[in-house]
Structure 1
């Protein structure tokens, strides 16, 4: 399965409004859904957050021009919120999965979608 298929089928196909997969080391965009534009500085910032996840509480997470307030930050998962929308970021060995949800999806459901894909990729060496 290609990285784009993971985004299309496992993220947006599962109900998230937007999704992307980035390189864990450099934050480069490997695949993304339409409507999300993660710039190089944003990708760098997302990758840097996983080096010091506690920074998400002070800095938030900037994704596609939207700043999300940090509500969870650990070496594997970072969650953010902006009003009724939010983001779930999950790091695997080689990738960072980005899931964006809107007000039609419960935060717990969004987290389950992204964390499940993260577990699958980790189990398969990614």
Structure 2
């Protein structure tokens, strides 16, 4: 399956995720939903946030020009909030899944979708 198919089918296709991207930990966007453009600086900051979760917690995360308040951050998952909307970032062995959801979707509906895809990708070596 192509990386774009993971974004289109496994994330956006669920109806719970509004925007998504898969970033390579070594750099670059592997796939993204239409119109979801992360700057080079944002991509680097997202990857770096997993090695410095305290900084992500203190400063928030920026995705496609939108700043999210960081609810929690560790070396696997970062959860952000902006008003009624939210962001879920999950690191795999080689990639970072970046997903946003918009109200009325809530974190308990969106988070398992992203976390389960990350578990699958880790299981197959990515």
Smaller-chain TM-score bracket:
over 0.9
Find the aligned partners of 2:77 and 2:95 in 1 and give their Cα distance: 12
Q: Which runs of 4+ in 1 moved over 2 A?
A: none
Question: Could you say what secondary structure the match of 1:54 adopts?
Answer: helix
**TM-score scaled to structure 1, two decimals?**
0.96
Number of residues of Structure 1 aligned to a counterpart in Structure 2: 125
In structure 2, what is the equivalent of residue 52 of structure 1? 52
Counterpart of 1:122? 122
TM-score (norm 2): 0.96
1:64 aligned partner: 64
Instruction: Out of 64-73 and 53-62, give the one that drifted further.
Output: 53-62
Could you tell me which residue of structure 2 aligns to residue 34 of structure 1?
34
Aligned match of 1:21: 22
Find the residue that maps to 2:53 and give its secondary structure: coil
* Superposition deviation, residue 49 in structure 1: 0.2
Secondary structure of the corresponding residue to residue 81 of structure 2: strand
Structure 1 segments unaligned to the other structure (5+ residues): none
1:25 deviation in Å? 2.9
Cα RMSD over matched residues? 0.8
Provide Cα deviations, 1:10-57, integer angstroms capped at 9, x if missing partner.
11001210000001233x211000121111110001011011112111
- 1:104: how far off? 2.5
